[in-house]
Structure 1
Amino acid sequence: MEEPILQTIKTYYPSLSQGQKKVASYLIEHKEEGAIITASQLGRNVGVSETTVIRLANVLGFRGYSHMQEAIRSNWLQSSQSSTMSGQVKEEDRFYQVAEQEKKVFAHMMDQLNPEEIREAAEVMMKADRVFIGGFGGSYAAGYWFYYALRQLRDRVSLFSAEGLLPEEMVDIDELSAVVIFSFPRYRKEGKELSDAARKAGASIIAFADKPLSPVGREADVTITTEERMETDYHSIAGAVSVSEMVIQTAADKYSEQVKARQQKIELMYAERGMFLE
Structure 2
Amino acid sequence: MRDPYLEIASQMNSLSKSQKKVAQYVLDNPNNIPFQTVEKLAKEVCVSDATVVRFANALGYKGYPDLQCHIQNRLQRKLKTTERLKNDQSLGNTIDEQIKNYIMQDVHNVQSIIEEIDTYQFEKVIKAILAAENIYIISSRSAGSPGMFLNYYLGMLLGNVTHVEVLETDGEKMLSIDQNDVAFAISTARYTRSTLELFRYAKERNACTIALTDNFSSPLIPNADLALYTKSDFSSFFDSFAASMSMINLILAFVGKYKEADNTERLEELEALWLKLNVFY
TM tier, smaller: 0.5 to 0.7
Superposition TM-score, scaled by structure 2 size? 0.62
Equivalent residue in structure 1 for 2:181, among 173, 177, 190: 177
The separation in 2 between residues aligned to 1:206 and 1:88, in whole angstroms, is 35
Alignment pair present for 1:128 and 2:116: no
Q: Is the 8 A contact 1:140 1:162 kept in 2?
A: no
Alignment pair present for 1:204 and 2:208: yes
SS of corresponding position for 2:219: coil
Structure 1 position 184, deviation (Å): 0.8
The separation in 1 between residues aligned to 2:102 and 2:169, in whole angstroms, is 32
Judged with a 3 Å threshold, the aligned counterparts in structure 2 of structure 1 residues 267 and 186 are, in CA distance, closer, same or farther, namely same
Structure 1 position 253, deviation (Å): 0.8
SS of corresponding position for 2:228: strand
The separation in 2 between residues aligned to 1:257 and 1:149, in whole angstroms, is 17
Q: Is the 8 A contact 2:137 2:151 kept in 1?
A: yes
The separation in 2 between residues aligned to 1:255 and 1:249, in whole angstroms, is 10
Aligned residue in 2 for 1:213:
217
- Report the residue type matching 2:146 in the other structure: A
Structure 1 position 227, deviation (Å): 1.4
Alignment pair present for 1:138 and 2:142: yes
Structure 1 position 153, deviation (Å): 0.8
The separation in 2 between residues aligned to 1:194 and 1:254, in whole angstroms, is 29
Judged with a 3 Å threshold, the aligned counterparts in structure 2 of structure 1 residues 163 and 218 are, in CA distance, closer, same or farther, namely closer
Aligned residue in 2 for 1:154:
158
Larger radius of gyration between Structure 1 and Structure 2: 1
Aligned residue in 2 for 1:168:
172
Aligned residue in 2 for 1:57:
none
Segments of 5+ residues of structure 1 without an aligned counterpart are 1-86
Q: Give the count of matched residue pairs.
A: 190
The separation in 2 between residues aligned to 1:148 and 1:231, in whole angstroms, is 26
Q: Is the 8 A contact 1:118 1:250 kept in 2?
A: no
The separation in 2 between residues aligned to 1:250 and 1:197, in whole angstroms, is 28
The separation in 2 between residues aligned to 1:236 and 1:185, in whole angstroms, is 11
The separation in 1 between residues aligned to 2:120 and 2:153, in whole angstroms, is 21
SS of corresponding position for 1:190: helix
The separation in 2 between residues aligned to 1:117 and 1:259, in whole angstroms, is 24
Q: Is the 8 A contact 1:150 1:248 kept in 2?
A: yes
Q: Is the 8 A contact 2:183 2:207 kept in 1?
A: yes
The separation in 1 between residues aligned to 2:91 and 2:177, in whole angstroms, is 53
Structure 1 position 196, deviation (Å): 1.0
| Root-mean-square deviation (Å) | 2.5
SS of corresponding position for 1:152: helix
- Report the residue type matching 1:90 in the other structure: N
Equivalent residue in structure 1 for 2:279, among 250, 275, 278: 275
SS of corresponding position for 1:176: coil
Aligned residue in 1 for 2:85:
none
Structure 1 position 94, deviation (Å): 4.3
SS of corresponding position for 1:117: helix
